[in-house]
Structure 1
Amino acid sequence: SSIARVHRHLPPSSAPLLLKRRFQIINLWRPINHPALDWPLALCDFRSVDVKKDLMPVALIYPDREGETYGVKHNPGHQWKYKRGMGPEDYVLIKCFDSIQDGSVAILTPHTGFQDPNSPEGAPLRESIELRALVFYDE
């Protein structure tokens, strides 16, 4: 799916050359309008993820194409973190893919919104935006 994304967003003359290099998909996530108190974003430390056991491919079916993402199976060993009350001035960078797959770096960061039992009663619904960047390295 990551390689397909490169082909979908870049000119046909550029994609094959760029795909010979290391590349990543990095998302920038941030709340908009008010702090994300209701369903804040949580990130899982990749070092606590067993790729073969914890990640399962999930098909994404769109009207004009198909893609793939990963679902994350529960594992009590996962190390989830979040920052309470992230506001519009805060952001987080999320690695969603890395072409280095030899175990030397995190290949992705599982992330999700979650129902925080400590959210104040009547907190406004989370409003957030996520931007995606294709990052290519000169190596």
Structure 2
Amino acid sequence: METSISYLAQDPIFDIEKPFDTDVPVEHIPGARASNHKNDERTVTVYPITDASEWDLEKHGFCLIKAKTGLKAEDALTRKREVQKDYWNEIEAILHEHFPQYSRIECYDCTVRKRDPDFPANIRIYTKVEQPARRPHSDCSAKGAHMNLDRAFPGQQSFWEGKDFDILNIWRPLRGPNNDWPLAMCDWTTINPSPDVRINDAIRRDRVDENAILHYNEDHKWYFMKDQTVEDLIVFRNADSLGKRAQGFHCSVLNPEASGELRESVEVRCVAFR
């Protein structure tokens, strides 16, 4: 499908400033900026995945798994705190079954999204549920991976310091088949990390995270799962502790052919120790 992706523009400001953005209001602070980003909107072709078995986490940064889970859409949207632990247990068991290279897997975050009818024409900072992310990114850098664990498992630094681990995401729609603003994945083999990837400070109300954002490169190849069902799990690596493995850069894209319900989705982040 033909669509557009909102890349991070190459800007001379990054010669003197690190990229940053925030999801909290700053208008009341004199001289404050919510971000120093500029958009580089590009028309791209996003290809449908025709054979799920072709995609390998270690090579491409993402893969696809067919698996049943018990999380219901209404529970995720209205009772996330009560039901997320059971869902985490299901996800950990699924990952252990498919990825024997991991000795221990611990889920630590769960994000539920429901697209607002006004998205993206009117993107509000505060909605009841998080909105799709249009900027192609990886949720954390190698440094950000350690920052994630510091926050998720306070006081346990001695357990993971010096260990080899990955930060993984497991993403699926809450209702399907879904074609509305699907998740698009960039094939890692088409990314040139040195010029394409920019480390970014993600400023939150209570912390600063570090993630990674993509600049445009005409070599990038993007893919999505057409008619994705609740049993179609996209697994991708955000980062690893050594900063050496394939990453799953991703974003949501407008599908001009979509019809049906607005997208609802759930994603889990976990640490997977080798």
- Do these two structures clear the TM 0.5 threshold for a shared fold by scoring above it? yes
Q: TM-score, normalised by structure 2?
A: 0.45
Match of 2:227 in 1: 85
Match of 1:27 in 2: 169
Which runs of structure 2 are paired with 1:32-43 in the superposition (5 Å)?
32-43=174-185
Match of 1:50 in 2: 192
| Residues in 1 aligned to 2:154 and 2:203: alpha-carbon distance in whole angstroms | 23
Larger Rg computed on CA atoms: 2
Runs of 5+ in structure 2 lacking a partner? 1-143
Determine whether 1:127 maps to 2:267: no
Over the matched positions of the two proteins, sequence identity in percent amounts to: 29
**Which of 58, 61, 71 is the aligned partner of 2:203?**
61
Runs of 5+ in structure 1 lacking a partner? none
Q: Check conservation: 2:176, 2:227, Cα contact below 8 A.
A: no
| Residues in 2 aligned to 1:97 and 1:34: alpha-carbon distance in whole angstroms | 28
| Residues in 1 aligned to 2:162 and 2:232: alpha-carbon distance in whole angstroms | 34
Moved over 3 A (4+): none
| Residues in 1 aligned to 2:160 and 2:173: alpha-carbon distance in whole angstroms | 32
C-alpha deviation, 1:11, in angstroms:
4.0
Q: Classify the secondary structure of the residue corresponding to 2:239.
A: strand
| Residues in 2 aligned to 1:9 and 1:69: alpha-carbon distance in whole angstroms | 16
Which runs of structure 2 are paired with 1:110-121 in the superposition (5 Å)?
110-120=249-259
| Residues in 1 aligned to 2:175 and 2:223: alpha-carbon distance in whole angstroms | 23
| Residues in 2 aligned to 1:68 and 1:116: alpha-carbon distance in whole angstroms | 29
| Residues in 2 aligned to 1:86 and 1:71: alpha-carbon distance in whole angstroms | 25
Which has the larger displacement, 55-64 or 20-29?
Answer: 55-64
Q: Deviations over 1:114-138 (max 9, x none)?
A: 0122323xx321110110001112x
More helix by share: 2
Question: Cα RMSD over matched residues?
Answer: 1.5
Q: Classify the secondary structure of the residue corresponding to 1:115.
A: coil
Q: TM-score, normalised by structure 1?
A: 0.86
Identify which of structures 1 and 2 has the higher relative contact order when contacts are C-alpha pairs closer than 8 Å and 6+ apart: 1
| Residues in 2 aligned to 1:124 and 1:56: alpha-carbon distance in whole angstroms | 34
Which runs of structure 2 are paired with 1:88-99 in the superposition (5 Å)?
88-99=230-241
C-alpha deviation, 1:36, in angstroms:
2.1
| Residues in 2 aligned to 1:29 and 1:130: alpha-carbon distance in whole angstroms | 4
Q: Classify the secondary structure of the residue corresponding to 2:162.
A: coil
C-alpha deviation, 1:4, in angstroms:
0.9
Q: Check conservation: 2:198, 2:215, Cα contact below 8 A.
A: yes
